Amino acid sequence: MHIVSRKSELIQWINSLSDESVLDQVFAIKSGKTLVRDFDKEWDKSLTINEAREKSHDYIKSLPWKK
Q: How confident is the model over 12-67, as pLDDT tens digits?
A: 998 998 888 888 888 888 887 766 678 888 888 899 999 999 999 999 999 998 76
Distance (Å, whole) CA 55 – CA 52:
5
Distance (Å, whole) CA 63 – CA 67:
12
**Contact between 58 and 50 (Cβ < 8 Å):** no
Residue 1 pLDDT class (50, 70, 90 cuts)? low
pLDDT of residue 51: 95
pLDDT of residue 67: 67
Distance (Å, whole) CA 42 – CA 40:
5
